A = this chain, B = another copy of it.
Amino acid sequence: MSRLRVLCFSISVDGYGAGPNQDLEHPLGVGGPEMFDWFFRTRTWTRMHGGEGGETGVDDDLSAKGFEGIGAWIMGRNMFGPIRGPWPDESWKGWWGEEPPYHTPVYVLTHHPRAPLPMKGGTEFRFVTEGIHSALEQAKDAARGKDVRLGGGVATIRQYLSAGLIDDLHLVLSPDLLGTGEHLLHGINIRALGYEIAEHVPGTHAISHITLRKRALNR
């Protein structure tokens, strides 16, 4: 059965998934990019950007695995771009250039309708205005038995998590402190929602890769 998965999601030691003051120049917020240092060093990231080299090891292995078996993505509007409110025109096509690294349909949650946006390499951004449940249903249909990966950002993950819809959540604990920004788990009783620590493995540069998994209901 198709699962909804959050994979390779960086958080700081103090639990933030993004820094404060996000804008066009700081899509991850101030201090946010440091949290992806472990990813920027990997061979997977280097190849995604057409380069050679990059480090192998646990961080790289899990980065590569995060793209395997995924039939569709979901992301929040703010992960897709810095524009808020109605779309002024069709010019914003995401942060990722002509050929985004998704190669599947990508369902973008928004309150403002927009026509589907096909990109090179099989990615197609599809804008969903009917909310998180509808986006998940559409994404699972499109995934045809493969898994759906929920990219982010923090607010979108918190919505899906609070609704108990995420099957597993692979967090990458980065050796950073943000101090402020968007906290991933605060105020969500993740234990009461039925999640448990399924596994953890030390990273290459990351402190640890930690997987939270929702317990099956009938046990």
Q: Considering the chains assembled together, what is the distance between the CA atoms of A212 and B175 in angstroms?
A: 10
Instruction: Point out the residues of chain B lying under 8 angstroms from A66, CB to CB.
Output: none
Residues of B within 8 A of A183 (CB): 186
A207 and B200 contact, CB distance less than 8 A: yes
Tell me which residues across on chain B come within 8 A of A189, comparing CB atoms: 179-180
Interface pair A177/B202, CB less than 8 Å apart: no
Scan residues 169-190 of chain A and give those whose CB is less than 8 A from a CB of chain B. 171, 173, 175-180, 183, 185-186, 188-190
When all copies of this chain in the complex are counted, the total is 2
Q: Binding site of A, secondary structure by majority: helix, strand, loop or mixed?
A: loop
CA of A200 to CA of B204, assembled, Å: 12
A142 at the interface (CB under 8 A from B): no
Counting chain A residues whose Cβ lies within 8 A of the other chain, the interface size class is 20 to 34
State which residues 184-214 of A face B: CB under 8 Å: 185-186, 188-193, 195-197, 200, 202, 207-208, 210, 212
A15 within 8 A of B: yes
Q: Are B177 and A14 neighbours in the complex by a CB distance under 8 Å?
A: no
Query: Are B207 and A179 within 8 A (Cβ)?
Result: no
In the complex, what residues of B have CB within 8 A of residue A202's CB?
A: 202, 208
Q: How far is the CA of A188 from the CA of B177 in the complex (A)?
A: 11
Pairwise interchain contact B13-A197, C-beta atoms closer than 8 A: yes
Interface contact B207-A190, CB-CB below 8 Å: no
* Smallest beta-carbon distance A193→chain B, Å: 8
Is A31 on the interface with B (CB-CB < 8 A)?
A: yes
A171–B175 Cα gap in the complex (Å)? Answer: 13
Across the interface, do A177 and B196 meet the contact criterion of CB distance under 8 Å?
yes
Q: A14-B15, A183-B186 are in contact. List 5 more A-B contacts (CB 8 A).
A: A175-B197, A177-B197, A179-B193, A202-B208, A207-B208
